[in-house]
A and B are shown apart, each in its own frame.
Chain A
Amino acid sequence: MRYVDEFRDPELITKASEEIYRLAAPERHYRIMEVCGGHTHAIYRFGLKDILPSNIELIHGPGCPVCVLPMGRIDDGLAAASHNDVIFAAFGDMMRVPGTHGSPFEHKARGTDVRIVYSPADALQLARKNPDKHVMFFAIGFETTAPSTALTLMRAKSEGLKNFSVFCNHVTIIPAIRAILDSPDMRLDGFIGPGHVSTVIGCRPYEWIARNEHKPVVTSGFEPLDLLQSIVMLLRQLLAGEARVENQYKRVVPWEGNRAALKVMAEVFQLRPYFEWRGLGFISQSALKIRDEYAEWDAEQRFPIPGSRVTDPKAAQCGEVLKGVLKPAQCKLFGKECTPERPIGALMVSTEGSCAAYYNYEHRKAAALVTSISSVA
């Protein structure tokens, strides 16, 4: 399969891994944050940690939209959906995320009309097909998904579709990275920059990290070879004492980003003064709000929203895991009370959540076994 197999080629991967061993100074401990949850997932799915030296520590970042959404927003969205004739439409990742009174799936079992959609355009189609119902799309995501929500709102407006609205939870990545760098207990050597977000925003927005914080950033793809190559690029910069933004994912990410996508975002959204993030608290100018010109399609304007603020369950340490301070398995609830099937925190739900990735692929993987596997079958 093109664009997949060549990036999983065993020989090239071995070479990349050997290069990492060569570049990593044995006396040094490297702390590299992969910002994006998609990277976290790939790292576990492909067992990449097994071929990295032990002094390269990968810290999982906040780039999982489902994970960073505070429970209050889910409660608010579900409250709006409790009105008669409202269809709550969201991506599948959202469906098992717990709200105070259960997840969207649990609400569905109790009678709320909850539908999985694969894109905001699907939600719009749902509205066209159900003129006697109101379809509310529960929008989540970073700059990766925000343009498609924006385009859908523009479409709804131009069609004059009255039975469609968006409950907007779109957030932006840069303020989150800034919040992480500002947190006092975080020492990082460099960043594996998000791949999908960068297809929209490009690489320029990371330049301050290199310039002001003196930390290298390498925007990376999601295949094993992409990630290993990005680590090689980071190590080379660190070895040379440099801090630059580099683009490993050139086949997808344009340095300047996607101007058309940025334009539709600017047309439909404006920055919120502040927004609450799970684990990171309130971050100013870190989220998008639907502009007044589109108020008619803004669920927060259309429905009375309780504005719930809910503190996470005390025992759950989602915030610490999100900030990279704790590893998933160090949370007291990990794998016991909190599992992907019965999640307490959102990090256990989304495939991009570090807890789910860790639980699915790493948990119980006996270290002893790794070396004992010589040939299977």
Chain B
Amino acid sequence: MRFRDPQIEMAHGAGGKASRRLVEGLFAPLLFESAGAPLGDAAHVRMDGSCVAITTDSFVVKPLKFPGGSIGELAVNGTMNDLAVSGAKGQAMVVTFVLEEGLPTSVLESEVRAMSAALHKAGVAMVGGDTKVVERGKADLMYITTTGIGHLMPQVTIDTRSVRPGDKILLSGPIGDHGITILLARGELDLAADLSSDTRCVLPLIEAMVGEAGPGIRWMRDPTRGGVATSLNELARDCGLGIVLSEEEIPLRDEVRGACELLGLDPLHIANEGQFLVVVAPEYADFALNALHRTEGGEDAFIIGEVRPEPACAVLVTTRTDGRSSPSLSRMVKSLKPWHGADSTSIPAM
């Protein structure tokens, strides 16, 4: 469907339906050669017989530093994670800095150091870059774009079309930490919580899981903007199947839950930076889960739901309260929609 919105609004960058409309209605038909294939986190390119994955991401975050991370560290890990959930191990990266006139060098240097540390930790090389400076007021201190390229892990194929009813949905850890941390770090709300962003490189976790359950892994995604709800709704739409989650299995810190209750947000819509979702064949589910549990940082992974034949293209959540003890009562169910873009509280986009 052609993109008909008359102008670009914040929602087009929020990762929800409006973003998807822009990409599928304008960018894909004019720019992408194989517009028919579902759009993943990274593209696969065949060169001289071997296949590589490539992806790019821009980072605009306010404030630049927040509990648990900063823009420089996000710029490396975010792109590494997009490669990792595409089943690829990042090998090299290039970077573009858009800097605002007047940016203190100390601020820039601190972010470059954060990038360097993240590169080192992830085992990936930065091999080039570009710098632009714009007039004061034309950018919010700094924007960073990184592009990463990597080898595909041979044991795993990520394809929404391989998803089958009965497959399990696995989540790597507690959700919402990043989005709520940023929201609080902006200082616009009189709220404080002992919370830090979950930003990290998820490659070691994914490698461990692929090592033990590679052939059973059908699909992965890092639920960043728009959160778990948006990622799973896209999956449901792409594979034409239903996804049923169990609310009580979804790991969630009390601080995040409390902030969401106060602000009227749904944690399933909140951005994450260091978590990923996996669809895994049922016979491999325990292997995948155990592999994560044994790896540092994967202790809180859970199976949170499964794929069903019905209802097609929708995500449902069974709420905590069920009617087990009475046969006259059915379990309470709600359906879950993707993030509609900016709402009562604007959720950080990155």
Residues of A within 8 A of B (CB): 1, 4, 8-11, 13-14, 17-18, 21, 44-48, 50-51, 91-93, 95-96, 105-106, 108-110, 116, 118, 122, 224, 340-341, 351, 359-366, 368-371, 373, 376-377
**Pair B330/A370 contact, Cβ less than 8 Å:** yes
Contact partners of A340 in chain B: CB under 8 A:
337, 340
**Pair A341/B17 contact, Cβ less than 8 Å:** yes
- Most chain A Cβ neighbours within 10 Å, of B261, B306, B331, B336: B331
**Pair A364/B9 contact, Cβ less than 8 Å:** no
Contact partners of A1 in chain B: CB under 8 A:
254, 257-258, 261
CB distance from A10 to the nearest CB of B (A): 5
Say yes or no: A17-B329 contact (C-beta < 8 A), given A106-B7, A365-B311, A377-B305.
Answer: yes
**Pair B310/A368 contact, Cβ less than 8 Å:** yes
Q: Which of B67-75, B80-88, B341-349 contacts A (4 or more CB under 8 A)?
A: B341-349
Contact partners of B189 in chain A: CB under 8 A:
118
A-B interface, 10 closest residue pairs, ranked by CB to CB distance from nearest: A47-B332, A92-B344, A366-B311, A376-B246, A361-B334, A341-B340, A365-B335, A13-B321, A50-B332, A10-B321
Cα(A364)–Cα(B16), bound, Å:
19
CB distance from A309 to the nearest CB of B (A): 25
Residues of B within 8 A of A (CB): 7-11, 16-18, 168-169, 188-189, 242, 244-246, 249, 254, 257-258, 261, 264, 302-306, 308, 310-311, 314, 316, 318-326, 328-337, 340-346
Contact partners of A51 in chain B: CB under 8 A:
321, 323, 329-330, 332
CB distance from B219 to the nearest CB of A (A): 17
Contact partners of B319 in chain A: CB under 8 A:
46-47
Contact partners of A91 in chain B: CB under 8 A:
344
Chain A at the B interface: SS class:
helix
CB distance from B173 to the nearest CB of A (A): 16
Say yes or no: A10-B333 contact (C-beta < 8 A), given A1-B254, A377-B168, A377-B305.
Answer: no
Say yes or no: A14-B337 contact (C-beta < 8 A), given A341-B17, A364-B314.
Answer: no
Cα(A376)–Cα(B328), bound, Å:
19
Residue of A at shortest CB range from B302? Answer: A377
Cα(A317)–Cα(B225), bound, Å:
33
**Pair B332/A360 contact, Cβ less than 8 Å:** no
Cα(A108)–Cα(B303), bound, Å:
42
Contact partners of A110 in chain B: CB under 8 A:
7
Residue of B at shortest CB range from A352? Answer: B264
